[in-house]
Structure 1
Amino acid sequence: MKNALLDRNNNIAILLAGILAIIVGIGVARFAFTSLLPYMLEDFLTLSQAGILASLNFTGYLGGAVFSIFIKDINTKVKYFRIGMILSIVSTLVLALSSSESIWLISRIVAGFGSAMVLIVGGAIVMVKLNFENKTKAMGIHFSGIGFSIVVSELISQYVLQNYTWSQAWLILALFGSIVTIYSLYILSFDKQIKKDSPKHHLSKSIFSPYVILLIAAYFTEGVGFVVQGTFLPDIINSLKGLDGYGNLGWLIVGIAGIPSSILWMRWAHNYGSVNVIIVAMLLQIVGILIPTLSNSVGLNLLSGALYGSTFIGLVALFLNLGGHLAGKNPVVLMGAMTAAYGIGQVAAPLYSVALIHHFGNYNSTLYLTAFIVFIGVLLLLYAEKKTKTVIDKSAFDLKDILQVR
């Protein structure tokens, strides 16, 4: 077994390396910020600064995600994956060693770009290397790494915070990421360069039917729905009467709930249709968003975290599933448009959140508006289904098209 885990062509080693890469690129470089935010708000950051930093992080991710769509050659993908892993560690180390606001701002943009290289480009490499007849199910396991990334970064952070400060937690996270990265970089590479010609896809606007435009708009609303809890959930729970200190437990539950989510939602989409399942997932997410505004019950607010964790990862897979079908043989433009729409929602949400929090003095107005925006997405999908006669194939999407694997 030991030798198998060091074999670059072993499926278990490839999946392990992919999950560990996500833990570094998404957990350490992104979600640890959410975990440590309540502590940084106590003596370093203001809420406005936190919102700006979160927005800049998603700006970097948006730029990286769009950039990654146009990386066709697998050898080039390996290069940018390596760059992304290194940037994820360096940008985390900066937060431990510097108190300069300007450096923090730059580091969050860099971290966002690195996260995109790890998640999207790294996913493409995993897809190429896996030796399965049906890679889609295996990729569901790979993307469970997003849930693991929350759990692992949260556990490390809380362990360090028992005796040390948040800055030292950033340092330990960076050191952990450095060690893990060695394995991921070794496994997710090739013994020799792969020589393959990349098929040329001509850019076309013909795929932008009214149905597709509504889908893109709905995906924008989900970008908003993802960010607010993804940035502030621990502080939201801590701010409720009698719940101070429960925020990080809620965040841990987010990660645990997220681990199996993409696999389960994709299975249900296959059985019941993508749009139907997307609507159900978004409605559940809305319930989770509104719970903190309605109750300060410990159980219900931990359920809010579970509903968020079990939906946000699955919704990305579900939307890309549907988009992959609609894109056909020309996925580049549609995937770019969907990624951009989602990313714009991610960038905008932290900014309006902090403005509303400052004005009203609590998170309620932010959560109401976020839930309303996600509900608009549900209405857009219902309208699209009512008005279109397009038949959507229910089978699983071809990840090769979506990840631009060559």
Structure 2
Amino acid sequence: MSEPPRTTPIAMSHSVPRSYTPSVAAQPSPARVAIACMVVLAVALGVGRFAFTPLLPLMLHGGALDLRGGGWLASANYAGYFVGALTCAALRIEPGRVVRAGLAATVVLTCAMGLVDAFWVWAAIRFAAGAVSAWTFVFASQWGLARLARRGAHAWGGLIYTGPGIGIVVTGLFAGLLARYGAAAGWIGFGVLCAVFAVPIWRTFADDGAARASSAKAGAAPAASGSADAHVPSEPRARAQGAWLVLLYGLPGFGYIITATFLPVIARHALPGSAWPDLFWPMFGAALIPGALLAARVPPAWDNRSLLAACYLLQAAGIALGIVFPNVAGFALGSILIGFPFTAITLFAMREARRLKGERAAGLMGYATAAYGLGQIVGPLVAAPLAARVGSFSPALWLAAGLLVAGAVGLAVLAIWSTGAAREKQSR
């Protein structure tokens, strides 16, 4: 009675690989997928990119670096992130392999910052760390979202994007504990911490070509399953919508980075002698954790572009609060409003890329991430000279808020236009 019915001759064919059924059954659970990707983003972004923020004061205090040099190191990292994201489409490697290589590289590069004492070597390391973090982010997103889509476990996607927030909070607190030992010890400590986090999830990203091949038999179904829009656009229309997504996704990169880079300076000027300015960055990181979790609970049928527009408006409001109310309440609430939708923006943008490109979304994800990285490079380059000229960061911050509002309007128009076009196509 336990023998399965033999419905077709192919069911007993020896042409089916023996590893086929066990490979599919052995796929990690949605929870394991989401937690593994969360840890990857905490390591690659929370440490690989953002550990520099809490360690910079220690480097300045120890005399190893001046403020101008710190700015160049930050720019080197942003430039590396941009180049890494831009080259994602050219990488023809299994996502799991890229993720594992990214974890190992992050450990090595982070430790290396504490083992050398030469500015241009630091600059090269920070550039490489930026590229590695972009590759790891894009391919971890593709790997995780694809597996969650196959299981119909869309709600777990939010857990993935809490990783950067967790990394920011951990590095902020850990840097305080290491302050007495200096910046070099901090970098090495962060590298060891990355290794400790990477070991338990290492095997999760083992190659699973058989499972990928089996899911491909469903044709376009895997791509559609991760879609927040039942009407997948035609290829020409997908290209046009993808181009607009890339352009509009660059705006929050410009918007948030000005605040994230100069908030301590602005807050210290507004609140002299207060301990609060050092807490606004951890507030930012902590706020994005519930933001990502709540974003994942949004029904999949809701339009990603409309959700992105709402997130842009939240960040614009957070920036404006710090300008209009330059006090503890204004900066604190502003940091929360900027941080809350930070990774939700990433989640919705990556979902939209999968809606447009399905299993081939890594290229579009990379171009969108490159646009975001370009916004991060341009933001400080515009803000610093403008602030020096007028004696205030307010004009640059208003510019950032205005571009976020413009991006929200653009996304809303794009959503209305594409939805109307899809309905018109259906009615024919």
Q: One fold, TM greater than 0.5?
A: yes
Q: Does the 8 A contact of 2:30 with 2:153 survive in 1?
A: no
| CA apart distance, 1:107 | 0.9
Paired letter, 2:79: T
Paired letter, 2:41: I
1:28 aligns with 2:47: yes
1:160 aligns with 2:178: yes
| CA apart distance, 1:314 | 0.8
Q: Does the 8 A contact of 1:218 with 1:377 survive in 2?
A: yes
Show the 5 A alignment for 1:140-159.
140-159=158-177
**Residue 231 of structure 1: aligned partner:** 261
How many residues were matched structurally? 381
| CA apart distance, 1:123 | 3.5
Show the 5 A alignment for 1:1-400.
9=28, 12-42=31-61, 43-71=63-91, 73-74=93-94, 77-126=95-144, 133-161=151-179, 163-189=180-206, 194=210, 207-209=238-240, 213-242=243-272, 244-268=274-298, 270=300, 273-327=303-357, 331=361, 334-385=364-415, 390=420
Percent identical pairs in the alignment equals 25
| CA apart distance, 1:129 | 6.6
Counterpart Cα distance in 1 of 2:361 and 2:392: 42
**Cα distance per residue 1:292-330 (max 9 Å; x no partner):** 322332122111111111011111222233343344676
| CA apart distance, 1:194 | 4.6
Q: What is the alpha-carbon root mean square deviation over aligned residues? A: 3.4
| CA apart distance, 1:146 | 1.8
| CA apart distance, 1:174 | 1.6
- Gaps in structure 1 of 5+ consecutive residues: 1-6, 394-406
Q: Does the 8 A contact of 2:268 with 2:274 survive in 1?
A: yes
Please identify, of 341-350 and 37-46, the stretch whose mean Cα deviation from structure 2 is larger: 37-46
Rg larger in structure: 2
Q: Helix, strand or coil: the match of 2:181? A: coil
CA spacing shift, 1:301–1:178, aligned 2, 3 Å: same
Counterpart Cα distance in 1 of 2:336 and 2:273: 16
**Residue 396 of structure 1: aligned partner:** none
CA spacing shift, 1:254–1:174, aligned 2, 3 Å: same
CA spacing shift, 1:370–1:269, aligned 2, 3 Å: farther
Paired letter, 1:26: L
CA spacing shift, 1:170–1:358, aligned 2, 3 Å: farther
| CA apart distance, 1:56 | 2.3
Q: Does the 8 A contact of 1:84 with 1:114 survive in 2?
A: yes
Q: Does the 8 A contact of 2:283 with 2:332 survive in 1?
A: yes
CA spacing shift, 1:193–1:156, aligned 2, 3 Å: same
Q: Does the 8 A contact of 2:59 with 2:182 survive in 1?
A: no
Paired letter, 1:102: W
| CA apart distance, 1:45 | 3.9
CA spacing shift, 1:160–1:133, aligned 2, 3 Å: same
Q: State the 4+ residue runs in structure 1 displaced beyond 6 angstroms.
A: 128-132, 198-201
Counterpart Cα distance in 1 of 2:150 and 2:245: 31
**Cα distance per residue 1:13-52 (max 9 Å; x no partner):** 5544333222221111111112233444454444443333
**Residue 426 of structure 2: aligned partner:** none
Paired letter, 2:197: V
- Gaps in structure 2 of 5+ consecutive residues: 1-25, 221-234, 424-428
Please identify, of 89-98 and 44-53, the stretch whose mean Cα deviation from structure 2 is larger: 44-53
Q: Does the 8 A contact of 1:258 with 1:311 survive in 2?
A: yes
Q: Does the 8 A contact of 2:55 with 2:183 survive in 1?
A: yes
Counterpart Cα distance in 1 of 2:362 and 2:149: 25
CA spacing shift, 1:382–1:318, aligned 2, 3 Å: same
CA spacing shift, 1:366–1:347, aligned 2, 3 Å: same
TM-score (norm 1): 0.80
Counterpart Cα distance in 2 of 1:17 and 1:313: 17
**Cα distance per residue 1:278-304 (max 9 Å; x no partner):** 222111101212233223321221111
**Cα distance per residue 1:209-237 (max 9 Å; x no partner):** 3x554443321212212322333433433
Counterpart Cα distance in 1 of 2:149 and 2:407: 38
TM-score (norm 2): 0.76
Q: Does the 8 A contact of 2:305 with 2:411 survive in 1?
A: yes
Q: Does the 8 A contact of 2:41 with 2:164 survive in 1?
A: yes
Q: Does the 8 A contact of 1:8 with 1:186 survive in 2?
A: no
Q: Does the 8 A contact of 1:35 with 1:248 survive in 2?
A: no
